[in-house]
């Protein structure tokens, strides 16, 4: 591997010694932290060093500054994304842009779309309510907290800017610590293309660090992969975690892996936080979980060429249940397949289950899937004798997507993926799910037969284009509430409810 810079040089280059009250950039660094020049305590910006060998994209010019301070330009890099042709199945890589910086306090952001235009500027997720000031091809806005954003000009799906505004790093690991694998600014490639992580180790990717490797973490306890650097061009999946306990991934970005970004199997007590990941090749899932327990996925941005977050049990030589999984505070964009996918793969010979799954405060930005039986921004496709039970969704906001269904909840036997039918889906509570748009196809909740059913599914305060969908209100009495979605429900679904918030509260109090 390349020899990293000294710790002092690394910190200066990364800008992490910025503090409020400094005037201007740090002397001697081409890209340094911009400190607050107004005297307001806490407003500061950290500009990352240039990422070597990562291609740039010139569609956007991006500048940031502490509130009222001096402007500093960000490097803007190329992200490759997927566009599947539904007739031929070909996958044409599309060019997009991304940039990142760290800040505290309040920061002003200026984004210029260099090809021109810009009559319409949309900053997503819509739920953030960010309305920029637009002058010609330039938009300005203010952030007062870390955000993962998409800046879209004139509704362009691919030629847009993904902007990652991080908190300033705290407790940066020390280079030379025997328990730290330290990658300073620069390009790093292990000789065999694999970075093996031992137990009780912190892998630190400093701002400006590019590591071209497959990260392998097997049989490991108490390790971390953290920082602001990039995992780049992995020749297989970017990261594989198996039979591990107490592992944390925090703050890194994954670009252009072949296949999935992160695969987790047979592991416990994991945290994946503030991960940003892009993929464009086939089977480019964001995060796959197999046979794992007590996993938290928090604050991630995933734009992927397969499922963003997929939960399974058995596949290959992985065995065991999947339970106690929390996905929260994330933005999910599936250029192919599903933002959320649950239950396809399992163990027909010795049935397993997925249980106690929680999805909270999530923005689904897009879903595009041409295969009708494989759609769903939120998809349960339960096969291989899996039982899925005790699932809760809370505060899920679905923006209009290009192609697919809002909900696809099905017990199935699909010979393409399964060796048996799923056992069932039980006890699903979906609270404060909203969809605003016009492109959603017919949703579905479908049991396979009287032995393989969907039961005890409740929607509380489901809103479609602002309209509450409920059994008791807002429809002719002879209509089904599901018609308002619209949604097909078959005869193998029992105890399906659509409640208002007041009805749910009254039921809980009784």
Q: What is the mean pLDDT of residues 342-364?
A: 98
pLDDT band with cut points at 50, 70 and 90 for residue 21:
very low
Asked whether the predicted pLDDT for residue 359 surpasses 60, the reply is yes
Half-sphere exposure of 492 (CA within 13 A, CB side): 18
Q: Give the pLDDT confidence score for residue 29 in this predicted structure.
A: 30
Examine residue 30 and state whether it is found in any structural domain, yes or no.
yes
User: What are the backbone angles phi and psi of residue 9, rounded to the nearest 5°?
Assistant: -60, -40
- Which has the minimum average pLDDT: 108-122, 270-284, 293-307, 345-359? 108-122
Q: Which residue in this structure is represented by tokens 């995992």?
A: 231
What the block records as the tokens of 202 is 């912190």
pLDDT band with cut points at 50, 70 and 90 for residue 434:
very high
Examine residue 427 and state whether it is found in any structural domain, yes or no.
no
Q: Which residue in this structure is represented by tokens 């998809």?
A: 379
The mean predicted confidence, pLDDT, of the chain is 92
User: What are the backbone angles phi and psi of residue 11, rounded to the nearest 5°?
Assistant: -65, -40
Q: Give the pLDDT confidence score for residue 447 in this predicted structure.
A: 98
Examine residue 65 and state whether it is found in any structural domain, yes or no.
yes
Helices (H), 255-335: none
What the block records as the tokens of 219 is 């049989």
Count the domains in the chain.
1
Order of strands, edge to edge, in the sheet holding 60-66?
72-74, 60-66, 107-113, 138-143, 133-135
The reply to whether omega before 469 is within 30° of 0 (cis) is no
Please, which residues have CB within 8 angstroms of residue 419's CB and are 6 or more apart in sequence? 348, 384
What's the CA gap between 303 and 286, in Å, rounded? 7
38: left (phi over 0), alpha (psi -120 to 50) or beta: alpha
Q: Give the pLDDT confidence score for residue 119 in this predicted structure.
A: 81
Examine residue 155 and state whether it is found in any structural domain, yes or no.
yes
Asked whether the predicted pLDDT for residue 37 surpasses 60, the reply is no
Examine residue 264 and state whether it is found in any structural domain, yes or no.
no
Which residue, among 297, 296, 295, has the nearest Cα to 277 in the 3D structure? Answer: 297
Asked whether the predicted pLDDT for residue 435 surpasses 80, the reply is yes
Q: What is the mean pLDDT of residues 309-320?
A: 98
Examine residue 467 and state whether it is found in any structural domain, yes or no.
no
Examine residue 133 and state whether it is found in any structural domain, yes or no.
yes
CATH number where 107 lies: 2.60.350.10
Q: Tell me the β-bridge partners of 357.
A: 325, 391
Residue that wins the pLDDT comparison between 508 and 29: 508
What's the CA gap between 287 and 264, in Å, rounded? 8
- Using one digit for the tens of pLDDT, what is the confidence trace for 183-240? 999 999 998 999 999 999 999 999 999 999 999 999 999 999 999 999 999 989 999 9
Find the radius of gyration of the CA atoms of the chain. Answer: 23
Q: What is the mean pLDDT of residues 110-126?
A: 94
Q: Give the pLDDT confidence score for residue 510 in this predicted structure.
A: 87
- Using one digit for the tens of pLDDT, what is the confidence trace for 386-406? 999 999 999 999 999 999 999
Count of beta carbons in the 10 Å neighbourhood of residue 191: 6
Task: Transcribe 383-438 into DSSP letters.
Answer: BTT-EEEEEEEEEEEEE--SBEESEEEEE---TTT-SSB--EEEEEEEEEEEEE-S
Asked whether the predicted pLDDT for residue 6 surpasses 70, the reply is no
pLDDT band with cut points at 50, 70 and 90 for residue 117:
confident
* Segments forming the whole domain that contains residue 27: 17-167
Q: Give the pLDDT confidence score for residue 27 in this predicted structure.
A: 27
From residue 237, give the alpha-carbon distance in Å to each of 263, 279, 470. 8, 10, 43
Examine residue 83 and state whether it is found in any structural domain, yes or no.
yes
Q: What is the mean pLDDT of residues 13-29?
A: 31
């Amino acid at each position: 591997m390349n020899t990293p810079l000294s710790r002092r040089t690394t910190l200066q280059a990364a800008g992490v010694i910025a503090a409020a009250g400094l005037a201007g950039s740090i002397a001697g660094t081409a890209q340094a932290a911009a400190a607050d020049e107004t005297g307001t305590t806490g407003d500061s910006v950290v500009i990352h060093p240039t990422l070597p060998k990562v291609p740039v994209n010139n569609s956007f010019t991006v500048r940031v500054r502490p509130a009222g301070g001096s402007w500093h330009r960000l490097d803007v890099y190329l992200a490759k994304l997927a566009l599947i042709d539904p007739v031929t199945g070909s996958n044409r890589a599309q060019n997009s842009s991304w940039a990142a910086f760290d800040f505290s306090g309040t920061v002003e952001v200026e984004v210029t779309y260099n090809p021109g235009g810009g009559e319409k500027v949309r900053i997503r997720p819509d739920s953030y309510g960010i309305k920029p000031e637009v002058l010609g091809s330039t938009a300005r806005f203010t952030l007062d907290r870390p955000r993962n954003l998409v800046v879209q000009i004139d509704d362009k799906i691919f030629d847009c800017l993904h902007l990652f505004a991080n908190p300033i790093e705290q407790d940066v690991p020390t280079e030379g610590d025997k328990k730290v694998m330290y990658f300073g600014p620069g390009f790093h490639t292990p000789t065999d293309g694999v970075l093996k992580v031992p137990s009780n180790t912190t892998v630190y990717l400093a701002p400006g660090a590019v590591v071209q490797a497959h990260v392998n973490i097997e049989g490991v306890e108490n390790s971390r992969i953290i920082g602001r650097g990039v995992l780049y061009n992995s020749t297989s999946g970017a990261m594989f975690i198996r039979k591990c306990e107490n592992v944390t991934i925090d703050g890194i970005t994954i670009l252009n892996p072949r296949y999935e970004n992160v695969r987790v199997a047979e592991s416990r007590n994991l945290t994946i936080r503030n991960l940003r990941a892009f993929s464009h090749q086939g089977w480019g899932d964001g995060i796959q979980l197999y046979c794992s327990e007590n996993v938290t996925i928090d604050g991630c941005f995933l734009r992927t060429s397969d499922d963003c977050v997929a939960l399974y049990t058995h596949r290959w030589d992985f065995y065991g249940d999947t339970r106690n999984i929390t996905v929260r505070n994330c933005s999910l964009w599936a250029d192919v397949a599903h933002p959320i996918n649950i239950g396809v793969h399992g163990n027909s010979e010795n049935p397993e289950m997925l249980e106690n799954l929680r999805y909270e405060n999530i923005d689904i930005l897009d879903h595009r899937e041409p295969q009708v039986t494989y759609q769903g921004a939120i998809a349960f496709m339960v096969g291989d004798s899996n039982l899925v039970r005790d699932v809760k969704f809370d505060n899920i906001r679905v923006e209009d997507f290009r192609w697919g269904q809002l909900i696809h909840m099905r017990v199935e036997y699909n010979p393409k993926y399964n060796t048996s039918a799923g056992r069932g889906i039980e006890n699903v509570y979906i609270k404060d799910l909203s969809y605003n748009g016009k492109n959603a196809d017919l949703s579905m909740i479908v049991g396979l037969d009287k032995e393989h059913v969907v039961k005890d599914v409740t929607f509380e305060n489901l809103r479609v284009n602002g309209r509450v969908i409920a059994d008791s209100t807002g429809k002719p009495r002879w209509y089904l509430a599901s018609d308002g979605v619209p949604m097909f429900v078959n005869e193998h679904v029992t105890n399906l409810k659509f409640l208002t918030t007041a009805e749910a509260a009254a039921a809980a109090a009784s």
